[in-house]
Amino acid sequence: MPRSKKGKRGSGKPGIKNGVKGESGASDDELTSDILSHYSSASETASVLDEGTGSEQVDEKTAQEETEDKLKQCIDNLMDKSAKTRLAALESLRQAFSSRVLYDFLTERRLTISDCVERSLKKGSGEEQAAAATVFALLCIQLGGGDEAEEGFKMLRPILTAILIDNSASIAARQSCARALGMCCYVSAAEDGEDLIKSLALLESIFMSSYPNREGTLPTPKPGSPGLHSAALQAWSLLVTLCPASRLTVLLDLHLPKLKACLESNDVNYRIAVGETIALLVELGRDIDEEFEVEDSESLCECLKSLATDGNKHRAKNDRRKQRSIFREVLHYIENEDFTEEKIRFGVESVYIDGWMRRRIYDAFKEILESGVRHHLQFNPLLRDIFGLGPPLILDATVKGNKISRFEKHLFNSAAFKARTKQRNKVRDKRADVM
C-alpha cells in the first residue's frame, strides 16, 4: 500500500484481491455487459456487510475473479490492431472504472494502462482520443491522487496539451482532453503548484478566445467552439478552487469583466457555464474579503435578470427553462448571497452542496463518473476526503437501522468541509510564493 503525500487528497485506499489470470474469447459487447452485471451484484453485497455463509463468500470471490479476468481481457484489447476493438475496450474500461473502486487491481496495471492510453492519444482517431482521455481521468481518480496518479499525469500531460491546442484535432477529443487535464491536475497536482500554474494558463488560452475584442464585440464562434470553450472554462474553474488568495485576486480582476460580456453569447450552454463561473469567482472573492463587490454590479444584475426571464421563442423550450433556472440562482447569490442547497444521497449517507465551489467540484466528478458518482462517494477515499466524509463506512444491519438525523448529518458535513478547507488553505499558503 503506497503512502499518500502530505497535502494530497485521499489517504487510505481500499482494494480488492486480485483474481487469477485468465483468457476470454468473448466479444467486447459481451465483456462490457458481463463486467457491469458483476459490478451490480458485487455492489449489493459490498454496501452493507452482514454476516453471511461460507458459500456466499465463495460466490462473491468467484464473481470478483471472473470480473477481473474480463477486465484483464479489456486491457489486452487496448493493444489490438483493430481500432474498433480498442475503442470498445476503452468504453468497457470507462464503464468499469466509473462503476467500481479498483485501487489494488489498477495499481499493478497502471503503467500498462497508461502506455495503452498514451498510444491511443497519439495515434487514435478523434473518437478514440476522446475515450482515452476520459479513461485516463478515471484512472487518476481510481489511484486516489497519490504518487502513482501524479507520475501518470506528468507523463501524459504533454500529450493532452498537444491535442487541446491543436486546431486540426477533433472537437470531441479536445473537449475530453480539457476535462481530463482539469480533473487530473485537481486530484494529482504537485504541492509546489507548477502543474497548477501551467494547466490554468493552458485552459485560459482556450476559452479566452471567446472574450470580446478591443471594440467590445464578441467574436463569431467557429463550429463546435462553444462546447470546447465551455469544457475549458469549467476545467479552469475547478482548478481555480485550489488557488491561493494572492492568485485569486489577480484572476478576479482579469476575468470577471470579460466573463460578464460573454453572457451575451449565442450558445446557451456556454452562457450557463459563464454564469456559474461568475458566481464561483464572486464566492471565492467574498471568502477572501467579506466586503468584496463586483465592479459595475448593477449592470451585471440587469444582465442576469434578463437571462433569468428570457422568453425568446427562437430558443428551445428546454434551453429556456434550464437557463432561467440557473440564472435565477446566480442572480440570487450575487444580490443576496442566497444559495439553494442540494442534498446528494448515497447509501445511508448524504452530502450537502451548499455553495458554488462545492457544486463545481461535485459537478466535475459527476461529469466524469456519471451514474457511478454515488458509488465513489460511498467507497472512494479520494472523494470522501474531498467532501469531508471520513473513511468509508462499514455497516451491519443494527447500525443501518440506527440512522442519524438529517440535521446531525448536515452539522457533521459542514464541520468536516470547513476543517478540510482550513487544511487546504495551509497548502495554498505554501503555493503562494510560487504562484
pLDDT tens, 250-299? 999 999 999 999 999 999 999 999 999 999 999 999 999 988 988 888 99
Region 355-370: what's the mean pLDDT? 97
- 342 forms beta bridges with 353
State yes or no: pLDDT of 2 exceeds 90: no
pLDDT at 296: 84
pLDDT tens, 293-343? 888 889 999 999 999 987 665 667 777 788 899 999 999 999 999 999 999
pLDDT at 4: 39
Can you tell me the distance from the alpha carbon of 115 to that of 156, in angstroms, rounded to the nearest whole number? 9
Region 47-65: what's the mean pLDDT? 57
pLDDT tens, 27-49? 555 555 555 554 444 443 333 33
Region 121-136: what's the mean pLDDT? 97
pLDDT at 29: 55
Q: 346: helix, coil or strand?
A: strand
Can you tell me the distance from the alpha carbon of 229 to that of 221, in angstroms, rounded to the nearest whole number? 10
> Sorting pLDDT into bands at 50, 70 and 90, what band is 396?
low
Can you tell me the distance from the alpha carbon of 391 to that of 385, in angstroms, rounded to the nearest whole number? 8
pLDDT tens, 136-151? 999 999 998 778 888 8
Strand ranges for 247-330 from DSSP E: none
* Percent of the chain with pLDDT strictly greater than 90: 59
Q: Residue type at 107?
A: T
Which one is predicted more confidently, 61 or 23?
61
**Computed over its alpha carbons, how large is the radius of gyration of the chain?**
22
Mean pLDDT, rounded, of the chain:
82
Q: Which of 9-13, 77-81, 198-202, 368-372 has the weakest average pLDDT?
A: 9-13
pLDDT at 420: 62
pLDDT at 8: 38
For residue 230, which of 272, 284, 180 has the smallest C-alpha distance? 272
State yes or no: pLDDT of 53 exceeds 50: no
pLDDT tens, 344-358? 999 899 999 999 999
pLDDT tens, 235-248? 999 999 999 999 99
- 120 Cβ neighbours under 8 A, 6+ residues apart: 78, 86, 90, 128, 129, 131, 132
State yes or no: pLDDT of 104 exceeds 80: yes
State yes or no: pLDDT of 111 exceeds 90: yes
* Percent of the chain with pLDDT strictly greater than 70: 75
Assess contact for 172 and 41: CB atoms under 8 A: no
State yes or no: pLDDT of 22 exceeds 50: no
φ, ψ dihedrals at 6, nearest 5°: -60, 130
- 141 Cβ neighbours under 8 A, 6+ residues apart: 97, 183, 187, 365, 368, 369, 376, 380, 382, 383
In the structure grid, which three cell numbers stand for residue 94, read together? 470507462
pLDDT at 352: 94
Q: CATH class for domain 19-38+56-188? A: mainly alpha
pTM: 0.79
Assess contact for 70 and 31: CB atoms under 8 A: yes
